[in-house]
Amino acid sequence: MKKVLKYVILDIVQNKTVLIYTLLLAIISFSVFSLESNSSKGLLSLLNIILIIVPLICIVFSTIYIYNSAEFIELLLSQPLKRKAIWLSIFGGLAVSLALAFLIGVGIPILIYQPNGTGFMMIAAGLFLTVVFVSIALLSASFTRDKAKGIGLSVFIWLYSSLIFDAVVLFLLFQFQDYPLERVMVILSFLNPIDLSRIQMLLQIDISALMGYTGAIFREFFGNNTGIAMSFLGLTGWIAIPLFISLRKFEKKDL
């Protein structure tokens, strides 16, 4: 398993797409902090970029990598290796490589300009989002052998997380505005890893006042150590559950 993991990491780290992704993140991060006189505002601007770019690149790249590695996976299956070890090695290789790219492209600029609790929280949230969408990508790839359908499913999941989910929540808020839905919003936030990270970071940057009464509810829940732990537990669930389902499907899949 270690040899497979090492090979996957070396293969991805040398991939031109990952190198461009790392460079792009670094350019964006340094540019945002350089243009903003207040590093906290720079962090907020960077957050909006991270919540869009990181999940998209991670889920699309990981899905394409799985399909392009089909022959390599079949070769591994012909060896005396357990399917579980192969699948987890591929997941680990993708997660470690993309997390390393995020740390270099975003983590270093944050540590230079904002080396405090909020900066470390953003780095942690970005790393969690990276691994979450790698896990979801493996789930998408395990559902169909058709590359186009698999990539399409991954893009749809990204659209759901970044756009569609918020639109549905806003629709519910307008339709049931006469009812107290603030606590329901806290529960719904766990159904979307991007929203979960966004809310946590907005509270850490301390602009929850802009979120009104709902912001007060979020601060009451997420603004303490228990809430922070619960939010990261929710993100851990978004890693573990898709990975577990994809692993089960891969173990039973006829290749």
Which positions ≥6 away from 103 have C-beta within 8 Å? 123, 127
pLDDT-based confidence at 10, cuts 50/70/90?
A: confident
- What is the token pair recorded at 121? 């929280």
CA separation for the pair 83, 224 (Å, rounded): 41
The pLDDT of residue 224 is 63
Model pTM score = 0.89
The pLDDT of residue 222 is 64
Check residues 120 and 45 and name the one with the higher pLDDT.
120
Let me know: does 60 contact 241? Beta carbons within 8 Å. Answer: no
How many domains are contained in the chain? Answer: 1
Q: What is the mean pLDDT of the chain?
A: 83
Let me know: does 161 contact 170? Beta carbons within 8 Å. Answer: no
- Cβ-based neighbour number of residue 250 at 10 Å: 21
pLDDT in tens, 147-181: 889 999 999 999 998 888 878 877 777 777 777 66
Angle subtended by helix axes 165-175 and 182-189, to nearest 10: 160
CA separation for the pair 44, 203 (Å, rounded): 11
Amino acid at site 195:
D
pLDDT in tens, 103-118: 999 999 999 888 888 8
What's the domain range around 159? 2-252
The pLDDT of residue 217 is 63
pLDDT-based confidence at 219, cuts 50/70/90?
A: low
